[in-house]
């Protein structure tokens, strides 16, 4: 499904643009649609990319938990682009795709541990308005993961909220990244 680009798609030009586009094609197979939107304001683009590079170095939270949390958050917000790209990234990072596939229906699925369920519940609670986070949720996560990992988890979900809300508002939709995974995401059952 093509993106609607509520913010017009910019043509990426110049030396920086060529380098950025070449890197994106080498890394992701094509230039992510968001880059075409951010290109309108290169200072914002550089700030976002710089922050994302720093985020990629965080290592206090298990990568599977990080992926589940981001996908759960994107699902609550309804960002098809983020779900598509998140699944592609989980696939490329060698994460457990059987579990990744089940994130949208984690409540009905029996593949998740108690800790994984707590992370998914927390990610969803952080992504709703009004915020659904409780003291008990946080205390349980700190006990299970440690304070450093919970800080990282909280920031990852907050960052995914930023990504998902930006991409959704900009009109970005699934770009077909997850097509290479050959395993569609499960659909949540009606509750």
Q: DSSP of 9-67, one letter per residue?
A: PPPP-HHHHHHHHHHHHHHHSS--HHHHHHTTSHHHHHHHHHHHHHHTT--SS-HHHHH
Instruction: Give the pLDDT confidence score for residue 187 in this predicted structure.
Output: 57
Count Cα neighbours of 117 within 13 Å in the Cβ-side half-sphere.
10
Q: What is the pLDDT of residues 31-67, one digit of tens each?
A: 999 999 999 999 999 999 999 999 999 999 999 999 9
Instruction: Give the pLDDT confidence score for residue 166 in this predicted structure.
Output: 97
pLDDT-derived band at 178, boundaries 50, 70, 90: confident
Domain boundaries defined on the chain: 14-55, 63-181
Widest distance between CA atoms in the chain: 51
- Whether residue 188 has pLDDT greater than 80: no
120-132 in b/e form (b: 16+ CB < 10 A) is bbbbbbbbeeeee
As given in the structure block, the two tokens for residue 47 are: 């700030």
- Whether residue 104 has pLDDT greater than 60: yes
Instruction: Give the pLDDT confidence score for residue 191 in this predicted structure.
Output: 47
As given in the structure block, the two tokens for residue 162 are: 């930023």
Instruction: Give the pLDDT confidence score for residue 20 in this predicted structure.
Output: 97
As given in the structure block, the two tokens for residue 76 are: 């609550």
Mean pLDDT of the chain: 93
Residues 6+ apart with CB under 8 A from 138: 122, 150
Q: Look up the CATH number of domain 63-181.
A: 1.20.1290.10
């Amino acid at each position: 499904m093509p993106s609607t680009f509520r913010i017009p798609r910019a043509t990426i030009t110049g030396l920086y643009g060529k380098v950025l586009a070449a890197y994106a094609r080498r890394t992701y197979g094509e230039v992510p649609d968001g880059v075409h939107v951010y290109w309108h304001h290169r200072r914002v683009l550089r700030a976002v990319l710089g922050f994302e590079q720093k985020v990629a170095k965080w290592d206090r939270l298990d990568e599977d938990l990080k992926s589940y949390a981001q996908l759960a958050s994107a699902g609550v917000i309804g960002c098809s682009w983020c779900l598509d790209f998140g699944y592609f990234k989980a696939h490329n990072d060698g994460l457990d795709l059987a579990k990744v596939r089940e994130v949208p229906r984690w409540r009905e699925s029996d593949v998740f541990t108690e800790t994984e369920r707590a992370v998914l519940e927390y990610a969803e609670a952080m992504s709703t308005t009004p915020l659904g986070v409780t003291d008990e949720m946080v205390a349980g996560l700190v006990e299970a993961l440690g304070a450093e990992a919970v800080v990282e988890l909280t920031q990852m979900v907050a960052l995914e909220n930023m990504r998902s809300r930006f991409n959704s508002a900009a009109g970005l939709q699934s770009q077909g990244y997850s097509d290479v995974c050959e395993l569609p995401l499960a659909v949540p059952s009606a509750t």
